[in-house]
Amino acid sequence: MAQTRTRTLHSDPSQDSDDLLCSDSNNHDNQQEQPEHEEPSSLPETASSSLASPRGYLSGEVRAERAWAHWTKLGRPKLIVAPMVDNSELPFRMLCRRYGAEAAYTPMLHSRIFTESEKYRNEEFTTCKEDRPLFVQFCANDPEILLNAARRVEPFCDYVDINLGCPQRIARRGNYGAFLMDNLPLVKSLVEKLALNLNVPVSCKIRVFPNLQDTIKYAKMLEDAGCSLLAVHGRTRDEKDGKKFRANWNAIKAVKNALRIPVLANGNVRHMEDVQKCLEETGCEGVLSAESLLENPALFAGFQTAEWIVGSEESSKDGNLNQADLLVEYLKLCEKYPVPWRMIRSHVHKLLGEWFRIQPGVREDLNAQNRLTFEFLYNLVDRLRELGVRIPLYKKDTDDAEILADDLAS
């Protein structure tokens, strides 16, 4: 495995952890229907409190000042890779950073398994010195276990993040993610435990309640508990299908206006025009992208897939880059920073999905391959090219691209 920059406990893995993972984006070969679940109807009343920190008592105003000072020290990144289980691992993060990403989240890590299994730690969390700014995300429902896990990674990241937004069935069974919206005193205790005991800031990623005022109360509670940065996914817990339900940027804007700490927006970011529009409409400090980056890791560099240039072909041009090129770059990064093959297989399907529709026989050969090798995957790319498959990524003409870049920099 890749050189990890974490400390580990030497303990034998006791169970298979795959059943405990959750992602907002489904793997290509393992999509499952998710059962309906009733949204939390109202927000429980919880008391706000002033919190201490490892450095002593801090008022809410001072905590907010420190939150902004830290964000400024990191360069105020605007373009951020969202957390994706099995998909936002080190090689993919580094690929996205090559193409404009300014910060990134790790995949969601299960805090209990992370503390118990050295194998899980070594496989699921790897990083390198260039992999910054970095959010390390955990799911949890026990403050002590979460703190134990967080202490292992805090020397190697810029935020320890708590996943409060996973809407999938496995999170419901495990009592974490968005299903902690039904137990806000527990959520508060998770945030407080980290804020009081870590030397790096605590961040949280949430989904919105159906009721806007409940969402605002929720966000303020997190801020009061010690959250230094909040990422808001503008969909509710039941709105799992991002293509069916558009994210509510107005709700994100309301949260941004109600808080004193930096706020990030998540949802509906498919290309750079979306980035600009989201920042303008929400007032947030930055945006997260997930599913769109899986298909186009060069999104933050201004590249677009063909579906997003329909109607604006005259102002777009072939960017002299395609998804097969990006896959080759990704594979080379995987050789440098090894990760489990299941992650690599998932990225191959995401990047070459449209290519496989043209040559389904190549996809069938990939699916029939139980044990992958880099040689096989490089040959697969060569085979597609020899068959004449090429689907370019597009860029806006230079003048439009420069205007957009200037707007984002301002």
Name the residues annotated as catalytic.
166
CA atoms within 13 A on the CB side of 96: 35
Q: Quickly count: other Cβ atoms within 10 Å of residue 196's Cβ.
A: 16
Token pair 């957390």 in the structure block, residue: 83
Cα 134 to Cα 130, 174, 191, 316, distances in angstroms: 10, 26, 18, 33
Q: With beta carbons less than 8 A apart as the criterion, state whether 295 and 353 touch.
A: yes
- 331-336: long-range pairs with CB below 8 Å, 24+: 331/374, 331/377, 331/378, 333/90, 333/91, 333/92, 333/94, 333/95, 334/91, 334/374, 335/374, 336/2, 336/91
DSSP label at 313? G
Q: Quickly count: other Cβ atoms within 10 Å of residue 116's Cβ.
A: 21
**3-class state of residue 273 by DSSP:** helix
- How far apart (Å, rounded) are the C-alpha atoms in residues 27 and 21? 12
Q: What is the dihedral of CA 366, 369, 371, 377, to 10 degrees?
A: -30
**3-class state of residue 323 by DSSP:** helix
Q: Quickly count: other Cβ atoms within 10 Å of residue 177's Cβ.
A: 27
Token pair 């980290």 in the structure block, residue: 194
- How far apart (Å, rounded) are the C-alpha atoms in residues 115 and 204? 20
Q: With beta carbons less than 8 A apart as the criterion, state whether 131 and 114 touch.
A: no
Residues 6+ positions from 230 with CB-CB distance below 8 Å: 203, 204, 205, 206, 219, 222, 223, 255, 259, 261, 262, 263, 264
